[in-house]
Amino acid sequence: LALAAVRAQVQQEPFLETTEGTSISIKCSHPDIRTGDFIHFYRQLPGQSPELLAVTAKASKEVRSPEGRLSVSADRRSSELWLRQPRLGDAAVYYCTLGP
């Protein structure tokens, strides 16, 4: 049995918390990002499938629901999803991935 190694390594905090209505930043580190890679942020609410929130190569992007912003560092080695006023219903697993 051969297993393919996953090239795109990303690191995220395992757990974050905030009080309802208090902004929060979800950081993602991806030092091995390549030229053609896009940064994707997903969230998975309990009992649901993952939902794509935003995709970008390097430009900052506004996020509508939940309201916030996806920002990328100048060297593209890290990114951050900032949520303006998260609500109880926004409690979820948030994923950062790299891909085409």
pLDDT tens digits, residue range 36-90? 999 999 999 999 999 999 999 999 999 999 999 999 999 999 999 999 999 999 9
User: What band does 8 get if pLDDT is binned at 50, 70 and 90?
Assistant: low
CA torsion sign for 52, 28, 60, 76 is negative
| Domains, the chain, ordered by start | 11-99 (2.60.40.10)
Q: Is 56 exposed, middle or buried (0-12, 13-18, 19+ CB in 10 A)?
A: middle
Strands (E), 4-66: 11-12, 24-29, 38-44, 51-56, 61-63
Do 61 and 54 touch, CB atoms closer than 8 A?
Answer: yes
Relative to beta strand 68-72, strand 38-44 is unpaired
Q: What is the pTM of this model?
A: 0.86
Predicted confidence (pLDDT) at residue 33 exceeds the cutoff of 60? yes
